[in-house]
Structure 1
Amino acid sequence: MADTLKSTPTVLPDVTRNLAGLLAPAAAVLLVALVVAAVVGAWPPFVAVESGSMAPAVERGDLVVVTSTERFPWGGLVGSHEPGAPTRLGGPGDVAVFAPPQSGDRPILHRIAFSVSEGEDWTERADPALLDGSCEALTSCPAPHGGYVTYGDANGEYDQSAGLAPVVRPEWIGAKALVSVPNLGWVRVGIDAAIARFGIGPTMLGVGGLAAILGGVGATVIGWVGKRRRV
């Protein structure tokens, strides 16, 4: 009986170890994302930039780390026109992630200029170089509600002057930017494009399969290198 047990192949442990090796890279990425989310207080803690409206500090394909708007120690939202505004992503003032009702599933990453009150003619406090017309010519002036006037650094005009967004209500703002990492957002941009074309199910299967293949290749290479060193 003892000899029979010793000669039985240990297939199940081998399968378990191989599966763990394939899933380890994905688990590590998820763990890092959860830790970052716990620190910054926002989910997802990363935003992929899909346009050049915040160039040159933030380019298309960059990955931006975001935080909750009230998260310590960064405090609340500060507009670029406020005295002593902190520098965020290459300019004064906070850069917010917000989603007006008409934006659908595509949030906007733009800089906050200043806050406004309902009924205010905010053009009196605005930079004339960022305006296209008087208050009477703008649909968002006087301000239909309290909120924020915003702009993209590369656009040269307030969103509310260009018609890109109404005055941004505070509840539309999901997070604000901390730092950007060049080019790391292309993965997210590619996944979003694949979901739009093929659907979320096939895309997730494809991403999972690719992660498993890369994990297997990585494990094989590491094992081969380890054997070479032992020899």
Structure 2
Amino acid sequence: MNGERSGPFGPAVAVLVVALVAAAVVGAWPPLVAVESGSMAPQVERGDLVVVTATDRFPWDGVTGHAAPDAPTRLGGTGDVVAFDPPGDGLGPILHRVAFPVSAGDDWTDRADPALLEGDCADLDACPAPHDGYITYGDANGEYDQSAGIAPVVREEWIRAKAVIAVPELGWVRLAVDAAIARVGLVPTAVGFGGIAAATGGIGAVLLGRISASRRS
């Protein structure tokens, strides 16, 4: 170390490098999803940060619904939780649990849990299934997305990633960054948050130095 300050870009670059490494490991970008609603409560709350991975990344093998035999446990329930992005909704990815797969033309209400269904096939825009895909739901919503009109039958290609674990509260940082990028752009946001991180680190170093000095005196 030559004693020179790294400047506000140092922390920003470090964060970017960590994110790129994480993406390479899990095979998904972004590798972290900030939860914006309470639809997956109580296991995943608004403001939590969810680590995701590609659906075909070892040791995973595609997408498994909660109705499948020996379905895995994910985020407090059976069946995979996936981040998917229906085209044209403009609301960003939805993080919900997979119930079961369907094929084009299926009357999937025959396999549905009546407690998660409002009406029969004739009452639903997503039934019969217009294409192959998945029926999904939020744990806290009490109704399938395709029954409530939240999302159409989810095509395989709409699924960005599969959820692995949730870290409480850390998603607020990601949500703040996303909001700042949407408002002022990527570069000003990186400089601003980098400067905050650098200042926070500097203050912390000074405080630790003073504590250490007081202990020696």
**Same fold (TM > 0.5):** yes
Corresponding residue of 1:133: 119
Of the three residues 47, 50, 57, the one matched with 2:33 is 47
| Superposition deviation, residue 19 in structure 1 | 1.6
Change in Cα spacing, 1:182 to 1:26, as seen in structure 2 (3 Å) is: same
Q: Which has the larger radius of gyration?
A: 1
Of the three residues 131, 144, 165, the one matched with 1:145 is 131
Corresponding residue of 2:199: 213
Change in Cα spacing, 1:105 to 1:202, as seen in structure 2 (3 Å) is: farther
Q: Deviations over 1:198-229 (max 9, x none)?
A: 44454333223212222322333344445556
| Counterpart secondary structure, 2:67 | coil
Correspondence 1:75-94 to 2 at 5 A: 75-94=61-80
Amino acid at match of 1:52: G
Q: Deviations over 1:46-68 (max 9, x none)?
A: 10000000000000000000000
Corresponding residue of 1:7: none
C-alpha distance in 1 between matches for 2:203 and 2:91 = 35
Change in Cα spacing, 1:105 to 1:177, as seen in structure 2 (3 Å) is: same
Over 6 Å off, 4+ runs:
none
| Counterpart secondary structure, 1:101 | coil
CA contact (8 A) 2:36 2:47 kept: yes
Gaps of 5+ in 2: none
Change in Cα spacing, 1:229 to 1:29, as seen in structure 2 (3 Å) is: farther
| Counterpart secondary structure, 2:160 | strand
Change in Cα spacing, 1:107 to 1:126, as seen in structure 2 (3 Å) is: same
- Check if 1:19 corresponds to 2:15: no
Corresponding residue of 1:60: 46
Q: Provide the aligned C-alpha RMSD in A.
A: 2.1
| Superposition deviation, residue 106 in structure 1 | 1.0
Corresponding residue of 1:170: 156
Taking structure 1 as the reference length, what is the TM-score of the superposition? 0.85
Gaps of 5+ in 1: 1-12
| Counterpart secondary structure, 2:6 | helix
Correspondence 1:181-192 to 2 at 5 A: 181-192=167-178
| Superposition deviation, residue 87 in structure 1 | 0.6
